[in-house]
Structure 1
Amino acid sequence: MTSEIVDQMIALLKDPTFCSLRRLVDEHPLPWAEFCNMVTPAGITQKQTWDMLNALRRQTAIELPFRDGDGRCGWYYPTRSILDDLDDIDRRCHEGSWLDTAIKSRNTTFFLIEAHVDEAITTIREDGLTIGYEKAREVLLGERDPENSEERLLLNGHQAIWDLDEYVDRPCTPETILEMYERVSRGVSVQATPSVAQRSALWKKKQLDSPSALALAAKLIEGNRDEHAEHPLLLGMAVRHLVMSTFPLPAWNGTVYSLLMKLLFKKSRLPALAFVPLVKICREWESGVVRPPTVLTSLADSEVLIDNEVDYTIYVGVLAKLVRRKLDEVEDDLKRVIKRDEAFVQALREDVEINHRQRAVLQVALSNPEAVFRIEAHQKTHRVAYATARADLLKLADLGFLQCVRSRRAFEFHVTPGLRRLLTRKGAVD
């Protein structure tokens, strides 16, 4: 390289227009379409400017800890916006955060089940199954037993989420993943619908047999412990792509990968992230339900090929932003539930003591006057003894909030007509 060329490069790096572009790409991901509308330095072409910016970004980029089927590297440039979003996700999802504490609160158990319905429906669609919202809600809330394979898979996957804590301190191995598969497939007939494969125009899938794919998935989940480990959100997306591009399990790969992502978050000490509906977020972006200008770009334009490597900066930027927005929604909803619950408790306290399970029943009854409550469903939802569940509902009936009727051999509890007026007189609702 001649001295003249070196001088030209130094002059370019000092050029005010080029410096402005560098500050811009340091701040947030920059799509090619946006770059094309910008002023570039005199004396070099637009493409040369783009190549120079990318070369500088690549110097300090973060490489993903895996390669694609062609052995190519993937990386992303940690812009300030990406770092801010990932830091915010860490702060709000780590053990002991406000969101983690709220999720563990007994008062929010019912809310979490309600909030999980959409995510559960989206998850089983990954395996080609469909179920309506109301039917899914009835099964997840324990209002009735599953009547077919779709509903059984839905319930198995949901129940497995609450049992993930038993895996957190155990090493994740291929055998662990197979054990989780056995749990979700118990009582479910053979899968007859095709799962939705994950494909990428740039990232080539690995040609892996099932044992190798399971071993790699376990490694991604278990090996993220050192100081410079990749962010769990990105590793979670890697697990999703790996499982849904190789289908290493006999069936229900979609349901299992969702559990594996949640296990990864719990092992990474970000337990609240396990309750963010990531499958739904990804599907909405991938299907175009969420599109520009709500997000920076479409999925098809979020991966960029640079020098035979895949630049995932835009992808990471969009994903982190979507997760952060969803966290806002989850927190806002939880705060409303907690505030409503506190007001409810205070209003009823002077007249009668109502426990958190009974308050949850009354809150559902207020929003759905047609709701029917059963002892078994109440028992399963709140994980209490049958006698405790029975006492909860009978007391509400004694107070006049519910009406107890016999249906076949079991009791059903219907909402008392005019419940809102009754509670208003007690000062419990506005």
Structure 2
Amino acid sequence: MKKPRTPPSLSTIQVEPDRMLVILEAAERFDQEYPYLHWDALVYKEMPPGITPQEIWFGLKILRKGRRKEVPLSDSSQVPFCFSLTDSMVPALHEIDLKKGKGGNLLYPKEFLVDSLMNEAITSSQLEGASTSRKVADDMLRTGRLPRDRDEQMIFNNYHTMEKILSLKGHPLDKGIILELQKLITEGTLDDSSGAGRLRREKERVVVEDRITHEELHVPPPANELADRLQALCDFANGKTPSYFLHPVIRAIIVHFWLSYDHPFVDGNGRTARALFYWTLLQNGYDYFEYFSISEILLGAPAKYAKAFLYTETDENDLTYFLLHQLEVIERSSQKFTESIETRGRELEEFEKSHPLLNDLNFRQIELLRYTAKHPETPFTIQSHKNTHLIAYDTARQDLLELERKGLLRRRKRGNAFIFFRPR
């Protein structure tokens, strides 16, 4: 994508003192109509009569500077990053907190968690270039078969990284954990396998560039700063800094940005950053985020994701652009999950009504039969049923054998394992 225009410096904008109040009032009205625009987008909007884009920008910057807060992240020139808590952020954060108070993950069966972990693993990999189809990836993860190529390996790694994130709840973040996560994410996918589980070195020049034009979009900090910057990130993620209260969701989003900005590895930076976003939220009690996939939303509009980073960098390290974008992503991800739960519930209810003989079956068995009705050619194994519902192998085996005894599934040998399928 094209790098956005760099906003004009306030020192280059001439404003007559007797016009200051008029400009500030116009900027406030403009901001209400077009909330928190970057200069790159502002120049395309219709200006108030008698006021130039530069004057509106001057007024907006004055208003923003009055409420911004610095965070303990600086660029390579030691200029700190900052953010403003905008009017739209407050209700968005309130909605997120309301979901936290309702119990979150206690409301949903385990297989919804598996679906979410798989969805995040697949879409996060696709966001970084993996071309494996959803069906093939889903089959690999459910059956537990090993990856066949690099793209499948990326998805396989991401899934097990998300499982690792769940196991890390309650553990403070440290450099060793971050290195371990990056190693999990990149294992078997690097041209040079020595790049897994370590920081990039000075001779390893890493830049973020446009995939088509190769224009440099971001040059991360030098390698000799990375160890200290990673420790500062851990302190921030663990809540040791800053000295003022920072909402946990804002903190998680900044952690996401921070790791991506520093780009401390030769590969796997984006996937590691998104994994740390989830860790930060789960660490702060937002367990229901286990069921959301932000990468699914990001994959649908990758240019907006990239632009949120670039807007921040090109406008005096203002993180507000990235925060607003990510809060919108969270809202859309939450809505998508709610819609999928409602759809699945309706489908299950309709399936049970049309099959009254299923009353003595458990939820896992009914869900499997509902799936086979929609995908009659898909076989199942004890391992895939186990992985789908996070249950013991013997429990999965008993589920499938009971369905076979009732004539609802058939069984045959394939290699060393039995497969179960819908009777024709």
Identical amino acids, percent of aligned pairs: 21
Displacement of 1:266: 0.6
Tell me the distance in 1 between the aligned counterparts of 2:292 and 2:190.
29
Decide whether the 8 Å contact of 2:125 with 2:271 is kept in 1: yes
1:6-52 deviation per Cα after TM superposition (whole angstroms, max 9, x unaligned): x956x853x5x853541442572234444751215x6x755334313
Residue of structure 2 equivalent to 1:317: 324
What is residue 84 of structure 2 aligned with on the other side?
Answer: 77
Match of 1:138 in 2: 139
Matches within 5 A, 1:305-384: 305=314, 309-342=316-349, 344=351, 352-384=359-391
Matched, 1:174 2:175: yes
**Which position in structure 1 is the counterpart of 2:239?**
223
Deviation at 1:214, TM superposition (A): 3.2
Cα shift at 1:256: 3.0
Within 5 Å, which residues of 2 pair with 1:255-270? 255-270=271-286
User: Which has more radius of gyration?
Assistant: 1
Aligned equivalents of 2:243 and 2:98: distance in 1? 17
CA contact (8 A) 2:256 2:277 kept: yes
Tell me the TM-score normalised to structure 2 length.
0.76
The 8 Å contact of residues 404 and 414 in structure 1, kept in 2 or not, is answered as: yes
SS at 1:168 equivalent: coil
1:345, distance to aligned residue in structure 2 (A): 5.3
1:401 deviates by: 1.8
1:157 alignment partner, SS class: helix
Query: How far apart are 1:59 and its partner, in Å?
Result: 0.8
Kept in 2, the 8 Å contact 1:365–1:371? The answer is yes
Aligned to 2:202: none
SS in 1 for 2:77: coil
Contact 2:157 2:186 in 1 (8 A): yes
Deviations 1:150-173 (A, max 9, x none): 434422431332343332211211
Of the three residues 221, 225, 236, the one matched with 1:206 is 221
Q: CA shift at 1:300, angstroms?
A: 8.1
Tell whether 2:69 aligns with 1:67.
no
Q: What's the TM-score, normalizing by structure 1? A: 0.75
The letter for the 2-side match of 1:48 is E
Given that 1:25 and 1:79 are in contact with CA atoms closer than 8 Å, whether structure 2 keeps it comes out as: no
* Separation (CA, whole Å) in 1 of partners of 2:314 and 2:156: 41
Partners of 2:408 and 2:207 lie apart in 1 by 49
* 8 Å CA contact retained: 2:208, 2:218: no
Q: Which structure 1 residue ranges, 5 or more long, are not aligned? A: 1-6, 292-297, 418-430
Alpha-carbon spacing, 1:318–1:240, altered in 2? closer, same or farther (3 Å): closer
Q: From the superposition, tell whether residues 100 and 112 of structure 1 become closer, same or farther in structure 2 (CA, over 3 Å).
A: closer
Q: Classify 1:39/1:324 alpha carbon distance in 2 versus 1 (closer, same or farther; 3 Å).
A: same
Paired position in structure 2 for 1:97: 102
Asked if 1:400 is matched to 2:407, the reply is yes
Q: How far, CA to CA, are the matches of 1:197 and 1:334 in structure 2?
A: 40
Provide the C-alpha distance between the structure 2 equivalents of 1:190 and 1:21, rounded to a whole number of angstroms: 49
Where structure 2 has 5 or more consecutive residues not aligned to the other structure, the ranges are 1-15, 197-205, 211-215
Please report the RMSD computed on the Cα atoms of aligned residues, expressed in angstroms. Answer: 3.8
